[in-house]
Structure formats: structure tokens, C-alpha cells
Amino acid sequence: MCGIIGLVSQNYFKSNDVIKMLKRLEYRGYDSFGIVTNSGLFEKKVGEVTSVTDNKCTQAIAHTRWATTGEVTKENAHPHSSCDGRIFIVHNGIINNYVELKEGLVAKGHIFRSETDSEVIAHFFEEELKTKPMPGAVERFFRVASGEFAVIIMIKGDSKLYAMKRGSPLSLGMLEDGNVISSDIYAFSGKTDKAVFFHEDEFAVVNEKGYEFYRFDGTSLEPVKKEITEVKWSSNEEGKKYDHYMIKEIYEQPEALERLYHSLKNGQKESAEKLKALMKSSKRIVFVASGTSYHATLLGVYFLNKSGVEAHTIIASEFRNFYLVDKDTLIIAVSQSGETMDVIEALHGMKARGAKIASLVNVPYSTIQRMSNVSVNIEAGQEICVAATKSFVNQVACLHYIASMFNGAEIADLPGDVRKVLSQENNIRDLAKSLVKSRDIYIIGRGFLYPVAREIALKLKEISYIHAEGMMGGELKHGTLALIEKGTPVIALINGRSEIVSNVMEVKARGGRIIAISNSGMAGELIRIDSDDEVSFSTAATVAGQLLTYYIAKEKNLPIDKPRNLSKTITVK
């Protein structure tokens, strides 16, 4: 979840050139950040990524942190250094056995300055390099370290950077006058279209003129040849016209949907057809996803089952506990980043059981995409706000499109439906102001609107810091009704189902406050959706929930794009 950068160049560059690249990775972590250069700058700060002291250098590593082990302090910020101040490291991931490693290093006289698991790496290499060359030290680290890591090492007086990967993502970009190592390709977008991606247990030696890659085979490092990928960039960073990235990305949804549909009918048509063929040839189809992407798969399963295609979905972190996989299984991974660790862990070893893997991702060349037999890009464009908005809507649209390939259903005008909801922004803003002091909000839906209720509740929790629960309307009376009292807000998703109206009456009878997102003209507080179509209604209702969440959070003056304790890309288990 942290972002790491390593840059080495034939020519001098400015320290803040690296910081600008690091800023592009801030969605991965924004608790603290730091940089070290080969010209003497070593600076760490708590808070979001900002400019540092001007310094010209030819080599630097930098880090933006999402705290796991150790509180948010300057001491716990990266880079970390060895006792002798020669070795500096930045790390993304978690070293599971760091306590054991640390105890052994302390016994040898090493002094630690932070509470992090990451600092162990700097001291480990200081100790190992006393008696071994770097390859030998790396081999030992691969043998003894448990967990996930993407690490870049810089050593004083050494013109090379050293990088290794297990679990956490890492990529190398080739510049005209040097090389850059990064957690993901967005850090060097616009600077190069040539990239090399690290695979599991790979180690690289990188300097200003080239690189060498090695793979740890369990006993030693063996040289490997790497394929250079030509990256196709699509960016929507045309300037920030809004107060926050969240509202900007909400308003980008109609264009994102249009881009997706055009892609599925043209450039990605072959991939979509290949996915359909895999689904038809599989006896068992199971989706695996986390968070917002999981809610999208709940809708996808609904659309597929209505099209006569049996499918299931499992939360990624529990996948291995609840699902049977064999040669007749197709696993479809859904992830915005393509780097979600719980999803990657669920996929590991599945091909060895004979299963096929497909994926829907938003980030090209990501780990999950590279693990897949076939992959479809949801074409949402880069999403900077931690809260998923356009990526959710495009995931749902993509899943519905795939379902329509089986039943020939017409594709609704989702871009137009979203624009209609956006035209109600003022009404939704006024409604949000009345909910600012709410302690709890409940969202109820039935059938295809149950996943939407879950998704709206998630947005309210992560961005507005309000306890929210999204649930099936029929389950209201099985416990939750005891929490409804006078004035308790309940958002009801109503699309002509008489059962949900009965649930609304149950809430009203206990003094609850009903806010309807509905296509009917029922009395009371209403956000109107002008559609009976299921995918249109579910998409439009979700966007209404996004706007409501945004304006509640804005009224509360909360850090909307960077909510506390959360990160965009979850690369730890």
C-alpha cells in the first residue's frame, strides 16, 4: 500500500523531480513520506507529499507511507538507514517475521530508531554485506524473510540501485538518461513508454545505463531475460477543476462509460469474446474480489444468472475457506488496481489445480492482469480519490455487457442515466446537509438493489465517517429494526418492488426517516431515478449515493480524497 520510487540518471536531476513522481503514488499512502539522495539530502516528514529541500543529485530513493507496523511518526517514515548510515531502504509490504529478525540483529549490536518492520531490512543488509557480496545477501534475504515486499536499496558511494520483489508490485521504467523503479507505472507516466515488470522473487541491479535481472529459485539467483513492454498511456489529468478528486471522478463517469462501451465493441471485442468462450466451457464460474469490487461482482452474478449463466462470488480474503476449485473452474478476478493482495493470494496456485483465470482490472500491466488467461480493462481511467466511483460503475457496466452477450439484451444508455442523476446535484447537496449530524444511516434494497445498498453504505463509512449498514430489505425485521428510532435515516432503494414498500412502512411505523431513491412519485424525501431498467437504475442509484456521501463529507470538512486509515491499493493481507 505504500509507494516507492528509485531513480538513477546520467545527468543531474532535482530532488523535487522525484517528489513529483512520488506524488503520483500518494493514493497508495499519505501518512508520511521521505527521500534520500546521493548528494546528501535525507528528509522525512509526517503528512501528505510536499516539496522538499532543493538538492541536485544523480541517484535518489523516496517513499510515501500507509502505516501498518508502527505509528505515524517522522521516525517511522521511510527511507530507513543502517547503523553506519551507508545503506538506505524503502519498502512496500510487510515482513511477517520481523520480530525474530530484529531480535537476532539487536543481539549483534544493531540499534533501531523506528517501530517498523521495514527498518529490519536496512540492518539485515548491513550485517550480511560484512561477509558477502550483494547477490549473496539478497539470496539469504529471500530465504529467511517471510511476507510481502518490494524493496529498493541505495548504498553510499555505489552508483547502482538494488531492487527485489515478492508479493508487492514493482516495475522498471527506462528513461532516455537513466532508469526509474516504482511501485506502479503511474509514477513515470509521460516520461517513458518502455517498462519491465518484476515477477515473483526477482532481484534487479539498476544503474544509469542499464539493468540486470535475476530470479531466486529457492537456493540461488539465476540470470533472467526480461521482456520490455510498450505501455499505452491514457490519462485524464487535464487539470483539477473541482474542489476534490472525488467529485471530479464522479463527473467523469458518463465519459468513462462511453469509453468502455466503445472499447468493448472495438479494441477489446476479441478479449470479451474470449472471456465468453471460457465461461461457456466452464462448469463452475466464480468471481473473487474485495470491497467495492466485490459489490460490483454481486451485481454481475445477478445479471449473469438472469442470463442463464450460473455464477457465484466470494470475498477474496475468504476464498480458500469457502470455494472448491478444479479443472472445470473459471475464476474471474475483479480489482480496480490489479494489485489487491487478497485477490492475488486467492489466485496463487489455482492454475496448478487446472483452473482458468480471467480478470477485470483498471490498471494495465498489473499483477492480476498478468496472471490471467484473458483480461478485460474496464477503461475507467486513473482514479486518484481513495473511494472507488467510476471504477465501480464501469465494473458493473462491463459485467452487464458480458451478461448481455449471452442473452442478447439491449445495452441501456448508462451515460445518459448518470447525467440525469448529476443534474440533481443541488437537491442531493441540500439533502446531505440534513444528514451531517447523523450517527447511523441504514440503506435497504432487494434483489439487484441489495449490492447497491452495500456499496452506498461503504461510501458513507469510508468518506463521511458515518456508521452505515447496507442490507436486504427482508432482513430488516431480523434484528436491525430494533435500532430504528424516531428520526433514524433509512435510505430505501425502490424500483417498483412491493416488498420493499412494506419494509418502508415498517420503518415509518417506528418513527424512522425515509429517504427514497426511486422511480416512483412516492411522497417524502426523494432522489428520483427515471428508469425501470435494472442496470440503469442500479447505476444511477449508486451515483446518487456517491453524491450524497461527497456532500455530507464536504459539509463536515473531512479529507475526502484521503480518508483516515485507508489506502487506494491494498497490497497487504
Q: Which residues pair with 142 in a beta bridge?
A: none
**Rounded CA separation 387/462 (Å):** 7
Measure Cα distances from 23 to 151, 153, 220, 316, 404 in Å.
Answer: 19, 20, 36, 29, 40
Strands 211-216 and 221-224: antiparallel
Q: Angle 246-248-254 (CA atoms, 0-180°, nearest 5)?
A: 110
Handedness of CA 391, 392, 394, 398 (dihedral sign): positive
Q: Which residues pair with 468 in a beta bridge?
A: 441
Strands 56-65 and 32-37: antiparallel
Q: Are 72 and 32 in contact (CB under 8 A)?
A: yes
> What's the distance, CA 432 to chain centroid?
27
DSSP structure class, residue 231: P
The b/e string for 401-433 (b: 16+ C-beta within 10 A; e otherwise) is: bbbbbbeebeebebbebbebbbebbeebbebbe
- Cα distance from N-terminal residue to C-terminal residue, the chain: 10
Instruction: Bin 10: left if φ > 0, else alpha if -120 < ψ < 50, else beta.
Output: alpha
**Rounded CA separation 426/429 (Å):** 5
Residue 316's SS3 state is helix
* Residue numbers annotated as active site: 2, 568
Residue 165: phi and psi, rounded to 5, are -145, 135
Measure Cα distances from 241 to 182, 248, 259 in Å.
Answer: 28, 7, 21
**Rounded CA separation 159/363 (Å):** 32
**Rounded CA separation 348/270 (Å):** 26
